[in-house]
Structure 1
Amino acid sequence: MTASTTLALVRHGETAWNAERRLQGSSDIPLNDTGREQVRAAGFVLRDSTWDFIVCSPLIRARQSAEILAEVLGVPVVEVIPGITERDYGLAEGMQDGDELRALRIPGGFEGAETEAEVAERATVALHDLVAGHPGARIVVVAHGTFIRIAMSTLSGHHISPITNAAHCVIVHEPERSQWSVLVVNGEDFVPENSAVGA
Structure 2
Amino acid sequence: MTTRLIVWRHGNTDWNAAGRVQGQTDVPLNDIGRRQAAEAATLLAAMTPDAIVASDLRRASDTAAALAAVTGQQVGYDERLRERFFGVWQGLTTAEVADQRPEEYARWKAGNDVVGGDVETLDDLGKRVADGFQDAARLGSLVVVATHGAAARQGIGHLLGWPIEQVRTLRALQNCHWVELTQDGSRGWQLAAYNVGVFTDRPVPPPV
Tell me, yes or no, whether TM beats 0.5: yes
Indicate conservation of the 8 Å contact 2:68/2:75, yes or no.
no
Structure 2, unaligned stretches of length 5 or more? 198-208
Q: 2:91 aligned with 1:82, yes or no?
A: no
Give the whole-Å Cα distance in 1 for the aligned partners of 2:74 and 2:171. 27
Indicate conservation of the 8 Å contact 1:51/1:75, yes or no.
no
Report deviation, 1:103: 5.4
Matches within 5 A, 1:9-48: 9-48=7-46
Structure 1, unaligned stretches of length 5 or more? 189-199
Report deviation, 1:104: 4.4
TM-score, structure 2 normalization: 0.80
Matches within 5 A, 1:85-96: 85-96=82-93
2:8 counterpart SS class:
strand
Q: 2:122 aligned with 1:121, yes or no?
A: no
Aligned-partner residue type, residue 131 of structure 2: V
Larger helix proportion of the pair: 2
Report deviation, 1:173: 1.9
Report deviation, 1:51: 1.0
Alignment correspondent of 1:182 = 191
TM-score, structure 1 normalization: 0.84
Aligned-partner residue type, residue 173 of structure 1: Q
Indicate conservation of the 8 Å contact 2:136/2:145, yes or no.
no
How many residues align? The count is 182
Give the whole-Å Cα distance in 1 for the aligned partners of 2:103 and 2:36. 34
Which ranges of 4 or more aligned residues in structure 1 deviate by more than 3 Å?
A: 103-107
Alignment correspondent of 1:139 = 143
Alignment correspondent of 1:163 = 173
Determine which of 61, 69, 72 is the counterpart of 2:67.
69
Residues 75 and 6 from structure 1, CA distance in 2 versus in 1: closer, same or farther, beyond 3 angstroms? farther
Report deviation, 1:78: 3.5
Alignment correspondent of 1:195 = none
Indicate conservation of the 8 Å contact 1:6/1:137, yes or no.
yes
